[in-house]
Structure 1
């Protein structure tokens, strides 16, 4: 039997969002961003534009007695010519912090990307609707986590009871920056990207600046972190610099110092954790760039391979091994005057034994099970008793 609801439409405003750095009013609704407008204006790279507009860690948060919720959105679907279709982005519902439903939105805009030709075609699509029903009529805190890997314009929020912004949680804010792995890559949903899962285990409010393909020590990212209120801060540095073959060791050392200096301008005493890359066998001793292996597209698989030569390390080319050694040295040097600066070897989150049990499916990105494992390990090593953030977590 179809139930008829007396819908109440609540205006979508920034007050209903958590985890976003900025919001943009569009012709259709509200578009969350994870970089501010001034930073977006400084770099027109399409990869960055796509990554920062995908709302990893962004969620609607409100208090209501509603038994039914509808959310109209315009998702942006990505299609890669010659590659298998990507699954629709996942929205996850939490009620008083507990999982209560999940779903996807059909329709929306489509970006068709031809990686061999280097082209992208955009087609506009229709608004889609997400619906959750059967909720209790008790007053409750509701969160709807937006898809971590699908740009999402918010068009309308309807409920069968009034809505008001969720009260402040009182939890500490953890601000994290990293690559597509921190962004979420192949996680099963937005609450199980490794940073989101770690934050839930640690009882923290997450602001996730994991930017797929775009963790490149950009000064505007450092300034964004400097200006964003946070209690705990971490930066995961390395894999994208190898992927893009962006800089040599001389420039890398200076850029890391500059990035940390900028973050410290706004957070002089906050615990700051530098995390080196997780294990990625193809780039441990081989520099980038990283390129798509087009030979695998015919059988519907995406795989990457390293194009560099290990001998090029002598010329200052970066590998993950080189980056780990230099990050450890930099943190040790700076920690002599900055007792709140710490280092974590990324292989403690995903190392050689994990690569045997849970190999990277495309040789670059962790799968869903690995995201959960990494989140558990990060929470245990960083947030739990004895961890570098433990005494500042509550």
Structure 2
């Protein structure tokens, strides 16, 4: 700890955090979760456990005169066998809503993943310290966005002036659920994932339930969405169901209906937007699963390919084209009785022409520039005056 400042230590509590659905006390401190404990108890999948504990969209939100902030954390770094080392997770400091600085915490624990065998290993490491200085000495709102792709235990918060939670600003709350793209894969920072960018442009508060590899129409996720107070809900459905080769069309259709039914049990009139998959050439007409390209991995690059058989479409195999058509049909059917249900073709956010200009580096995930494009387009389409979220009024007073 730096002794240059007269530090005040403030307990990290739920009142100082935004974007988490649950907080777990650990031996080191506080671990934010993006799925509640009941949901986590219903699934033993290691991929989902990793994804939901990575705090995409989770941030400390403080009102303070402090000019210096220190945050002790215990991060968990990921290392993929055969791939280049991943950079340390990024923390974004926002002052009155504007990105003011970025930092990282070295060290921490390590999760080693062997993509070829599916095995993992864990090594515990030391707590590290993040430090921001030179902040204006006026009353301001300070947000520290935690790394979207790095599990982060919060250990201690220190400032050189008292802090209090940011008061409710009366902004609408937007809850978004999706895959690793919504989670933020390959974005350059936690406040510049496409959902975070869209939320900033629209002036709404984000709860990001983008779960890398975990957008699989799980009933426990639907219940988490249903039970979380939100004014606006969007669901980006499809790519994970294709690249896990989890379902056939016969099971996909009722699973989508069931997911929507569960949400509507508690949120009957909340604006609800169903978004179909972005353009992704390897799976447009070829079912999953997605598998690592071992040739690229041997050359030190992480890249994916489709391992399914295009002929499987005849027996209900899911491709992105099949999923888009079926989602559009489902929403048309339900919208006859649900005027608050809407549909957005994901290719309006990132289509074939975008891929030609900004290809997916690993054939599945967009880079930082593409995240910005998707976020800007989503804000323009969904939050426009005539868009599905444009004229929505707060609905949190409805049943939960």
Please confirm whether the aligned pair reaches a TM-score higher than 0.5, indicating the same fold: yes
Task: Report the TM-score when normalising by structure 2.
Answer: 0.97
Displacement of 1:268: 0.4
CA distance in 2, matches of 1:300, 1:243: 22
Contact 1:204 1:393 (8 Å CA) reproduced? no
CA distance in 1, matches of 2:191, 2:314: 42
Q: Deviations for 1:88-124, whole angstroms, at most 9, x for unmatched residues?
A: 1100001111111110000110011122232211111
Displacement of 1:253: 0.2
Contact 2:116 2:292 (8 Å CA) reproduced? no
CA distance in 1, matches of 2:347, 2:297: 30
CA distance in 2, matches of 1:266, 1:192: 31
Other-structure match for 1:23? 23
CA distance in 2, matches of 1:271, 1:221: 18
Other-structure match for 1:260? 260
User: 2:125 aligned with 1:125, yes or no?
Assistant: yes
Displacement of 1:299: 2.0
User: 2:374 aligned with 1:377, yes or no?
Assistant: no
Contact 2:82 2:300 (8 Å CA) reproduced? yes
- Alignment RMSD (CA, Å): 1.0
Q: Deviations for 1:99-153, whole angstroms, at most 9, x for unmatched residues?
A: 1111000011001112223221111100000000011111111100000000000
CA distance in 1, matches of 2:136, 2:98: 13
Other-structure match for 1:159? 159
Other-structure match for 2:62? 62
Q: Deviations for 1:363-388, whole angstroms, at most 9, x for unmatched residues?
A: 11111100000000000011022211
Displacement of 1:3: 7.5
Of residues 180-189 and 109-118 in structure 1, the stretch that sits farther from structure 2 once superposed is: 109-118
Other-structure match for 1:353? 353
Residues 1-394 of structure 1 correspond to what in structure 2 (within 5 A)? 4-392=4-392
CA distance in 1, matches of 2:29, 2:256: 38
CA distance in 2, matches of 1:337, 1:187: 38
Displacement of 1:298: 2.4
Where 2:200 maps in the other structure, the secondary structure is: helix
CA distance in 2, matches of 1:206, 1:366: 20
Displacement of 1:310: 1.2
Name structure 1 gaps, 5 residues minimum: none
Name structure 2 gaps, 5 residues minimum: 395-400
Other-structure match for 2:397? none
Contact 1:70 1:130 (8 Å CA) reproduced? yes
Q: Deviations for 1:4-63, whole angstroms, at most 9, x for unmatched residues?
A: 100000001111100000000001000000000010000010000000000000000011
CA distance in 2, matches of 1:393, 1:190: 28
Contact 2:54 2:150 (8 Å CA) reproduced? yes
CA distance in 1, matches of 2:117, 2:34: 29
Where 1:252 maps in the other structure, the secondary structure is: helix
Query: What count of residue pairs does the alignment treat as equivalent?
Result: 393
CA distance in 1, matches of 2:331, 2:253: 11
Do the aligned partners of residues 393 and 347 (structure 1) sit closer, same or farther apart at CA in structure 2, a change above 3 Å counting?
Answer: farther
Contact 1:172 1:230 (8 Å CA) reproduced? yes
CA distance in 2, matches of 1:86, 1:224: 31
Contact 1:383 1:393 (8 Å CA) reproduced? no
Where 1:191 maps in the other structure, the secondary structure is: helix
Task: Report the TM-score when normalising by structure 1.
Answer: 0.98
CA distance in 1, matches of 2:307, 2:118: 18
Off by >6 Å, runs of 4+ in structure 1: none
CA distance in 2, matches of 1:200, 1:393: 18
Q: Deviations for 1:245-268, whole angstroms, at most 9, x for unmatched residues?
A: 001001000000000000111110
CA distance in 2, matches of 1:386, 1:223: 29
CA distance in 2, matches of 1:381, 1:104: 34
Where 2:188 maps in the other structure, the secondary structure is: coil
